[in-house]
């Protein structure tokens, strides 16, 4: 099903390309980094997830136009998410 906002799809395609590059080439500038994407462009590359999020929000406050990516993460790997209350 296509996304209502074409920017979401553009950001997702760029995120997929970054992930593929980072996993294929350990010398990629994105390898083992967190990458912030806004409006179809890479705007932040950081070693720290929280830093990437803060900087991404400063650049583009509308979260619908942004995406954060763990560039070296295997998209097929299953992660259990736990939350304590």
> How does pLDDT run across 37-85, given as a tens digit for each residue?
999 999 999 999 999 999 999 999 999 999 999 999 887 787 777 777 7
Does residue 19 carry a pLDDT above 70? Answer: yes
Domain ranges of the chain: 6-70
What are the distances in angstroms from CA 12 to CA 9, 19, 42, 59, 80? 5, 10, 12, 18, 22
The closest alpha carbon to 56, from 15, 21, 24, 5, belongs to 15
pLDDT band at 3 (very low <50, low <70, confident <90, very high): low
């Amino acid at each position: 099903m296509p996304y209502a906002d074409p920017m979401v799809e553009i950001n997702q395609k760029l995120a997929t390309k970054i992930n593929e590059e980072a996993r294929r080439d350990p010398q990629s500038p994105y390898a083992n980094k967190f990458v912030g994407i806004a409006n179809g462009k890479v705007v932040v590359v950081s070693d720290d997830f929280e830093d990437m999020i803060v900087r991404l929000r400063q650049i583009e406050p509308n979260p619908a136009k942004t995406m954060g990516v763990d560039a070296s993460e295997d998209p097929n790997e299953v992660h259990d998410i736990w939350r304590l209350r």
